[in-house]
Structures are given as structure tokens and as C-alpha cells.
């Protein structure tokens, strides 16, 4: 028996199981195994309160547990700078910085971020007060249609912090020695951000300028 | 996505208790594999137990000179830890060969071990798949099988196991530490943690019972040698392996080797390791003697020999 061999259980059975939670030794109570799935019950969303800080501002939300961090930012806080591309962690358009680290906001639930500090493209800088990475993207024309740009910029900022902290990458010759700033390093580390227009060389120019290396 | 209830566990024992109390519960760690599958309704847990607050996020030396890696240690932190880059560079290299920077920042040790196949039919709910819906058949048999396994398959399932990290853990002979439902701990060699599909349904995948919690991965004392991870894929970065090789080569030519991308679990054997001093072909002849490739993935056998050949050259040169 392995973990993915369990019988499918209904929502109703979960409520029953929850009420009789004293029986912790049996993972799936016999009653639950026998229960017929109820599609009606299965469609009732669960709501939960969560509070986190976005770009310095505390946000208190009550959300369907299914809401991703990406959808919470875009649909509930109206911060639409963060983009939805593939919604499967493959394109990087949804990249935001959580507690100092870049992540894909599409593959994480909003309710998993209680107390976290989230920075989106809107929080990095503003018109008239651009983050150096935003300014460099403008200067080097690091985009064409612009859809992947917020993710590229948040990713680039997080990526340079990782490089500085000595996180190795696939092109680091010796992880024990650590990485050196180079175009090969920044290219490899940005592979999680896809640009369908193919503005990669200008994106790399922008990153190189901020990192202080020649691309 | 199907609706689900959600709660945060506060300790490993609390996580096991909470999961046991709710049928259909699943642990969520980084969420990078589970949420993907939940969006597609391939996984439909009725309840999620968030294990991000339970600790288990540290890397500690063990009494016998090995390393105990907590289940919640992020892939980025594991690959960067000084004890890993110095003592187990193979593990570091394998981790950074997988996924992207963003994903590795979220992905955990246990979640990575437990990631499920990338078989395109497993992801396509319109087509039969024994792994997703036991008894429906396997669309990959007789289908598009270029990325599938060349060995270890059964009539029920021919998928390949996708993790890079785990290939290194197999070569390093790691152990998985598991908290059982009664909250006692059992350990299992990682080589026995991953199962072959076999002839029964549902197909075999992981030697973990529902509700059991992985608490750590334990590495034996560092073994030294040249440690190399070579991954061959369709693009230079951010793609799953067609074939990968994790190798530890000692100065006398002996060592350990494990292959990724070729089987439903990382593929290795003691007999193949023993053949290492005789070169790449001797190893793959031993290891893949029982291979059953299709016309489409036959190339993986040649690629496996050549990739190991390249690794052995690198091991001499570096
Ligand atoms: C676009 C993309 C590309 C990728 N490319 C690669 C690649 O090239 N190579 C590679 O190796 N990987 C790759 N990955 C996969 C990635 O490595 C995994 O998604 C990640 O490691 C999963 O870890 P997690 O913590 O996010 O797991 P989760 O999604 O949180 O969990 C995965 C599974 O593990 C279970 N689980 C988690 N923790 C525990 C525990 N402590 N005990 C018991 N069960 C537990 C969960 O219940 C779930 O079933 C890729 C992923 C994406 C989305
Ligand atoms: S190979 Fe396995 S995962 Fe793929 S369709 Fe067949 S049964 Fe499903």
C-alpha cells in the first residue's frame, strides 16, 4: 500500500471524519471508505482568513482556500502588475519576492502566507522612483510586449541576491568555491523566466548593468 | 481545483495527528508539485495539512559523521549548505540541475522525493492512465514514448521518474526517515523508498503509507572521490532529464553510479558499480541488460553509455 493508493473520499466523509477525530490511528475510518461521493457537498468552498504584508501594507483577507497567492494579489488586492502566464510554474511571469526570496506566486496558496512579507513589481519602485533593475530594463529595452517583464524584474532582483549569497547554479564550476558573477551565471539563473518575444539579450544587458558585469 | 479544507500543523507529531483525523488529507510543503496536480484535478485531496511550520528545516551532522537533512529544508538551502557543497557536491549539483531558481526556493527535500511523474498522459485526463485512474490502461504503451522508461517498467505503467535530487541520493546511499501513524520513526534506504510500477493495480510509486510523514533524509559519512552530475535534456536549462548520470568516482576507478530519466525510479545496481573500473560500456551493459526500450526511446540506451563515458572523462580531467 502506498500513499497514492487510498480510496477517494467524499467531502461529507471528511466532515464525518473530522467530527470523530479521536480515532487517530485509523487514517481512513471504515465509515468514510463506504461513503458515496457527494458532488453537491464537494462543491462547497472553504473560506479562511489570512493576513500578510504586501509592499509594506498589511492586508487582511478572507479567501477560498483554493486561491493562489497570484490570484489573491491580482483579484483581491488589485495589484495586477504580477502576471498570470502558464499558471503551472513553467513561465515565471508570476514571480514575486516573499521574505526576500523569489518564488512563483501561482504555485503557492495565499493561506500559506500568514505573516509573510511580499514584494511585487509595484513595491520594487514607482514612476519617478524606479528600482535600479526597473531603470536598467527601460534603458536596455529589456522587453517587447512587456507581459513577462514584472516577473523578469522581480526574478532578476531575487536572483542577484542569491548570486551574492553564494547559492550555486548549474554552471557553477565548484559549488564549494561558489559562483562568480558572469553572464553565464545570470543566464542560467534566469531560465525560469520565459520571454516569448525573445528579448533575452536585452534582459541580460539590463541585469549585467545592475550586477556590474559585462554581458 | 476541488474545494478543500486547510490547516497548519505545528510539529511533526501534530501533522501526523491532524492528517490522520481527516480522510483524504495530504501534506503540503512547497506546493510546487501538489498544487499543479490539484489545479488539473489529478490530485483531489479533501484536506491539506500545511507542514511549513513544523520545523524540520535544518541540516545537522549525525553522530557517525553523516548529515541529517530535514524534510522541510528548501532545495536552494540544501544545495548551498557548506557541509553539502564540500562533503556531497554531487547532491548540490543534482539539485541545481533541476527546475528553476524560483521553484528551488520553495521545493523541499521531502516534496522533491515525492514528486510525481511528468508522463504527458498522466497529465491529460482525457486519456487512460493507470497511475492516475487505476484500471483504465496506459496510454503511453503504444503511444508517444520518447521520454518514458527503458527499464523497470510493467504492462501497467512505463513512466519515468523525474527528480534530479533523488538520483544523487540513490548514488549517495541515503536513508529516508519516516514518522509512522503511531508517531514512532522508521527508516528506509532511499533505494527502497521508490517503487517500480509492478503488475498490480494501482501501480507502485512510493513506500509510504497514507498519513506517514517524511521527517528527514540522512546521508552517510562523506565518501570523497570525484562527484559529478551530468544531465542531458532537450534544452540547456529548465527541462527534465532525458538521461542523467550521478557518479562518485574514486581515484582507483571504483565508485557508485545512478541513472535518471531511464526508469520509474533512479536506476543503479551493485553489479553495475562493480563494473565501473572497466568503463562506461561495461556499466551500462550490466545495468541495462534487461532493458525493454521502444523504437522511440531506444536512443536513451546509447545516450546513457555516452553520458557516463563523458562523466568518466570529466572525472579523470577534473
Ligand atoms: C515547471 C517545473 C519544472 C520542474 N523541473 C524539475 C527538474 O528539472 N528536475 C526536478 O527534479 N524537479 C523539477 N521540478 C519539480 C520540483 O522539483 C518539485 O515540484 C518539488 O521538488 C516538489 O517539492 P515541494 O516541496 O514543492 O512538494 P509539494 O508539492 O508540497 O508536495 C509534493 C508531494 O509530496 C508530499 N509531501 C511533501 N512533504 C512531505 C512530507 N514531509 N512527508 C510526506 N509527504 C510529503 C505531498 O503530500 C505531495 O504529495 C519542476 C517543477 C516544475 C513546476
Ligand atoms: S506510463 Fe504510467 S503515468 Fe504514463 S500513461 Fe502509462 S500508466 Fe499513466
CATH number at A108 reads: 3.10.20.30
Contact B118, B162 (CB under 8 A): yes
Which atom of ligand 2 sits closest to the CA of residue B149? 1
In a domain, A98, yes or no: yes
CA–CA gap between residue A86 and residue A91 (Å, rounded): 6
For residue A194, tell me if it sits in a domain.
Answer: yes
Domain edge (last residue) among A124, A158, A191: A124
Same domain assignment for residues A54 and A119:
yes
Distance B112 CA to ligand 1 centre (A): 4
Boundary-marking domain end, from A95, A124, A153: A124
On whether both A116 and A171 belong to a single domain, the answer is: no
State pLDDT tens for residues B221-240. Answer: 999 999 999 999 999 999 99
Regarding whether A214 and A193 lie in a shared domain, the answer is yes
Burial B104-142 (b: 16+ CB within 10 A, else e): bbbbbbbbbbbbbbebbbbbeeebbbbbbebeebbbbbe
List of residues 6+ apart from B24 with CB closer than 8 A: A6, A8, A9, A13, A14, A28, A32, B44, B45, B46, B47
| CB distance A103 to B35 below 8 Å | no
**Rounded Cα–Cα distance for residues A81 and A103 (Å):** 15
The span from the CA of A53 to the CA of A116, in Å, is 6
Residues A84 and A64 reside in one and the same domain = yes
Q: Which domain holds residue A175?
A: 125-215
B246/B229 Cα distance (integer angstroms): 5
Q: Kindly report, residue by residue over A123-176, the tens digit of the pLDDT.
A: 999 999 999 999 999 999 999 999 999 999 999 999 999 999 999 999 999 999
List, in order, residues 6 or more apart from A147 with CB less than 8 Å away: A83, A85, A93, A196
Helices A132-140 and A200-211: crossing angle, nearest 10°? Answer: 140
CB-closest option in A28, A107, A158 to B32? A107
A86-113 pLDDT, tens per residue? 999 999 999 999 999 999 999 999 999 9
Whether A141 and A215 share a structural domain: yes
The answer to whether A102 contacts B76, with C-beta atoms less than 8 Å apart, is no
**Distance from Cα B32 to the centre of ligand 1, integer Å:** 5
pLDDT interval class at B217 (50, 70, 90) = very high
pLDDT in tens, B74-125: 999 999 999 999 999 999 999 999 999 999 999 999 999 999 999 999 999 9
Q: What is the pTM of this model?
A: 0.93
Pairing of strands A117-119, A95-98: antiparallel
> Is A115 found in the same domain as A57?
yes
Q: Are residues A102 and A148 in the same domain?
A: no
pLDDT (tens digit, 9 = 90+) per residue, B143-166? 999 999 999 999 999 999 999 999
CA nearest to B140, candidates B152, B151, B124: B124
Regarding an ipTM greater than 0.90, the answer is: yes
**How buried is B282 (Cβ within 10 angstroms: 0-12 exposed, 13-18 middle, 19+ buried)?**
middle
pLDDT of A13 higher than 90: no
Residue nearest to atom 36 of ligand 1 (CA): B111
User: DSSP assignment, residue B1?
Assistant: -
**Cβ pair A20, A29 in contact under 8 A:** yes
Is residue A23, in this structure, part of any structural domain at all?
Answer: no
CATH of the domain at A192: 1.10.150.120
> How high is the pLDDT of residue A32?
36
Residue A20 lies in a domain: no
Rounded distance from Cα B252 to ligand 1 centre (Å): 37
- Within 10 A of B317 (CB to CB), how many other CB atoms are there? 7
Q: What is the mean pLDDT of chain B?
A: 97
The structural domain count of chain A equals: 2
Q: How far apart are CA A118 and CA A52, in angstroms?
A: 7
Q: Which residues line ligand 2 (CB under 6 A)?
A: B 117, 119, 121-122, 129-131, 138-140, 157-159
Per-residue pLDDT band for A215 (boundaries 50, 70, 90) equals low
Mean pLDDT of chain A: 85
> Is A1 among the domain residues?
no
Amino acid at each position: 500500500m502506498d500513499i497514492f493508493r487510498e480510496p477517494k473520499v467524499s467531502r461529507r466523509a471528511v466532515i464525518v471524519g473530522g467530527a470523530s477525530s479521536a480515532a487517530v490511528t485509523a487514517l481512513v475510518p471504515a465509515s468514510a471508505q463506504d461513503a458515496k461521493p457527494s458532488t453537491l457537498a464537494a462543491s462547497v468552498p472553504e473560506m479562511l482568513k489570512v493576513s500578510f504584508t504586501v509592499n509594506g501594507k498589511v492586508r487582511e483577507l478572507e479567501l477560498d482556500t483554493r486561491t493562489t497567492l497570484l490570484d489573491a494579489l491580482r483579484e483581491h488586492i488589485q495589484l495586477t502588475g504580477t502576471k498570470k502566464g502558464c499558471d503551472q510554474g513553467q513561465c515565471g511571469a508570476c514571480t514575486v519576492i516573499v521574505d526576500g526570496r523569489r518564488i512563483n506566486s501561482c504555485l503557492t496558496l495565499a493561506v500559506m502566507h500568514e505573516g509573510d512579507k511580499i514584494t511585487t513589481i509595484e513595491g520594487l519602485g514607482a514612476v519617478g522612483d524606479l528600482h535600479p533593475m526597473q531603470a536598467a530594463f527601460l534603458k536596455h529595452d529589456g522587453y517587447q510586449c512587456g507581459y513577462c517583464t514584472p516577473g523578469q524584474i522581480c526574478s532578476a532582483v531575487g536572483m542577484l541576491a542569491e548570486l551574492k549569497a553564494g547559492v550555486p547554479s548549474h554552471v557553477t564550476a565548484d559549488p564549494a568555491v561558489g559562483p562568480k558573477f558572469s553572464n553565464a551565471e545570470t543566464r542560467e539563473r534566469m531560465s525560469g523566466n520565459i520571454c516569448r518575444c525573445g528579448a533575452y539579450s536585452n534582459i541580460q544587458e539590463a541585469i549585467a548593468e545592475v550586477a556590474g558585469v559585462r554581458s | 481545483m476541488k474545494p478543500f479544507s486547510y490547516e497548519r500543523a505545528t510539529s511533526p507529531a501534530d501533522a501526523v495527528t491532524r492528517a490522520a483525523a481527516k480522510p483524504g488529507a495530504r501534506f503540503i510543503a512547497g506546493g510546487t508539485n501538489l498544487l499543479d496536480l490539484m489545479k488539473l484535478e489529478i490530485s483531489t485531496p479533501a484536506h491539506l495539512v500545511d507542514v511549513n511550520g513544523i520545523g524540520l528545516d535544518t541540516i545537522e551532522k549525525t553522530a557517525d559523521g553523516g548529515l541529517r537533512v530535514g524534510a522541510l529544508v528548501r532545495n536552494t538551502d540544501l544545495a548551498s549548505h557548506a557541509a553539502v557543497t564540500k562533503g556531497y557536491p554531487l547532491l548540490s549539483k543534482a539539485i541545481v540541475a533541476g527546475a528553476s531558481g524560483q521553484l528551488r526556493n520553495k521545493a523541499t527535500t521531502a516534496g522533491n522525493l515525492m514528486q510525481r511523474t511528468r508522463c504527458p498522459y498522466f497529465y491529460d485526463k482525457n486519456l487512460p492512465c493507470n497511475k492516475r485512474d487505476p484500471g483504465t490502461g496506459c496510454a503511453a504503451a503504444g503511444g508517444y514514448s520518447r521520454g518514458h522508461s527503458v527499464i523497470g517498467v510493467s504492462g501497467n505503467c512505463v513512466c519515468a521518474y523525474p527528480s534530479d535530487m533523488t538520483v544523487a541520493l540513490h548514488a549517495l546511499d541515503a536513508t529516508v526517515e519516516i514518522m509512522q501513524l503511531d508517531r514512532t520513526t522508521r527508516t528506509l534506504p532511499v533505494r527502497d523508498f521508490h517503487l517500480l510500477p509492478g503488475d498490480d493495480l494501482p501501480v507502485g510509486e512510493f513506500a509510504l503509507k497514507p498519513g506517514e510523514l517524511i521527517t528527514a533524509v540522512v546521508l552517510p559519512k562523506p565518501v570523497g572521490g570525484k562527484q559529478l552530475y551530468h544531465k542531458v535534456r532537450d534544452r540547456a536549462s529548465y527541462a527534465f532529464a532525458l538521461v542523467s548520470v550521478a557518479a562518485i568516482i574514486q581515484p582507483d576507478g571504483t565508485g557508485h553510479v545512478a541513472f535518471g530519466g531511464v526508469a520509474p525510479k533512479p536506476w543503479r545496481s551493485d553489479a553495475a558499480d562493480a563494473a565501473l573500473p572497466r568503463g562506461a560500456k561495461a556499466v551500462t551493459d550490466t545495468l541495462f541488460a534487461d532493458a525493454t526500450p521502444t523504437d522511440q526511446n531506444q536512443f536513451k540506451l546509447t545516450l546513457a553509455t555516452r553520458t557516463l563515458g563523458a562523466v568518466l572523462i570529466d572525472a579523470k580531467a577534473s
